[in-house]
Every structure is written in structure tokens, then in C-alpha cells.
Amino acid sequence: MFEETVTVITGGANGIGQALVKGFAAQKSAVAFIDQDQAAGEKLKHELEAEGKTVYFHQGDISRPEVLKKFVEKIVERFGKVSFVLNNTMKSNHGILSDCSYEEFVESFKIGVAAPYELTRLVLPYLDQDAVIVNISSSRAYQSQQDTESYSAAKGGITALSHSLMMSLKGKARVNAIFPGWIDTGETYDKDYKPDYTRADSGQHPSERVGKPEDIVEAAFFLCDPKNSFVNGAELFVDGGMSKQMIYADDEGWSYQQQER
């Protein structure tokens, strides 16, 4: 499907990022990914190389511009071009109820907003024909639970970054965003992981199940496929319909419990 392409993925060692690395490698794209988790990154690289896949792993912290610069230099040295960029890495430092500090709040923005911008800026001269940027946002860019300010605000930031980059990069790359809801990534950390969902966990979703990393992979495939070149600036929600539910007390089994303040 993606022969002769080069896919760049941040946060590729675990979670959704790991599934993206495996998915694009399975579609015959050469994959370059970065992650701070060296052990998990090296393990994934070796597994995929044993299957005959073309993979490059770079260990590092994407909040540091010099790390991104070196990562891109290695990509260009090895592959000479970039076809797809999947900005996936994020770190939550919780929020105001946890006394998230100024420095912690800014750190979330460095990782979740500034790094995707800088990576896109650095690869710009090397973008392939039909290049695509896919930013992994979140349904939390529009909805929140308590104590999620650092994460939700950063996801709001990458959402705005996506449509602004889309306008700036017209003629050079399409830019779209994926908004995951509850995606259970347990299997990417533990091969023996067995989910244990309650009926409410699954049933609260209009799709009547919890999301899987592969759901995000399939969305990324769709957005990167050149056959879908008219899809640009899209916000693709992959959340089982949760963000479209209107919830009132005693409606469809929902109940409200007053919290003490």
C-alpha cells in the first residue's frame, strides 16, 4: 500500500505509536521512529527487522530541538526523503488540582505542540510528493475531565497547529488530525495483557466497545492514502461516538452524583 514511502513517527516504542510503527512497516513503508524508551524502541526495531522490514530507531527527548535536528539528519542520511509524519508523542502532567507547575505545564506544550511544529519545519525541505502530516490530537481537545489542563490544553494547541499548517503547507503537504477517545494500549506494553472491561466500559460507547490501537492505525492509513487527496484539514474522531453523546441525568441509564467542593 505504501511502498517506496518513508514514515516518520514520534513516540513509536509503545502505545498507539508502536501500533503505527508496526502498521506502516507492514504496509511496506520504511519507518523512522523516535522515543525516549530505548529498551522498548530497540526491541521493536529488532522484531521488525527480523521480519524483513526497514526500520530506523532514534532514542531521544523530542522536547529538545537538538534531538529533533539530529533525528532528521539521520532520516535524510538514510532515506533521503520524508513521505508521512505522524506526530504522536504526548505527556500529561495533569492539572491545577494536582498543582501542575508552570514548568510542567510548559513541558506538555513543548512535547505536544512545539515539537510537532519543529519536526515539521525540519523535514519541510525533504517532503515527498503527496506528503502528509498526521497529528494525533484527542477528543480531550474539546471535552475534559477534572485535572487534565496540561494534556487538554496541549491537545487544543496541536488541533490549532493542524489547521494552520494545512494552510501554510498547501501544495507541499496535506495536514490532518486524528482525535482518539478511549484507546486501550495495554497489549503494546504486555504481550500477555488481557482486557477486563465492565459492561459499562463497553456499553457507554455508541459503538459498544473500547477502542484498539489498530483503530488509529486504520484512520492514519486513510489520511495518508493518496487516493484521499481531497481530505485536508480534517478532524477525524475515532472515539466510538462518545464525543457526540448528549448526557442528562437519568437519560439512558446515566446518573449524576453531586461532588463535594
Residue 251 lies in a domain: no
Catalogue the active-site residues.
151
Could you tell me the pTM of the whole model? 0.94
In this structure, are residues 75 and 82 in contact, taking their beta carbons and an 8 Å threshold? yes
Residue 255 lies in a domain: no
pLDDT value of position 248: 86
pLDDT in tens, 182-224: 999 999 999 889 999 999 999 999 999 999 999 999 999 999 9
pLDDT value of position 100: 97
pLDDT in tens, 35-66: 999 999 999 999 999 999 999 999 999 999 99
What range defines the domain where residue 134 resides?
6-244
Q: Count the domains in the chain.
A: 1
Q: ∠ CA 194-51-84 to the nearest 5 degrees? A: 85
Residue 256 lies in a domain: no
Residue 66 lies in a domain: yes
User: What cell was used for 29?
Assistant: 513503508
The average confidence (pLDDT) of the chain is: 96
Residue 106 lies in a domain: yes
Residue 81 lies in a domain: yes
pLDDT of 261 > 70? The answer is no
In this structure, are residues 135 and 20 in contact, taking their beta carbons and an 8 Å threshold? no
Residue 260 lies in a domain: no
Residue 100 lies in a domain: yes
pLDDT value of position 19: 98
In this structure, are residues 7 and 88 in contact, taking their beta carbons and an 8 Å threshold? no
Read off the CATH number of the domain in which 209 is found.
3.40.50.720
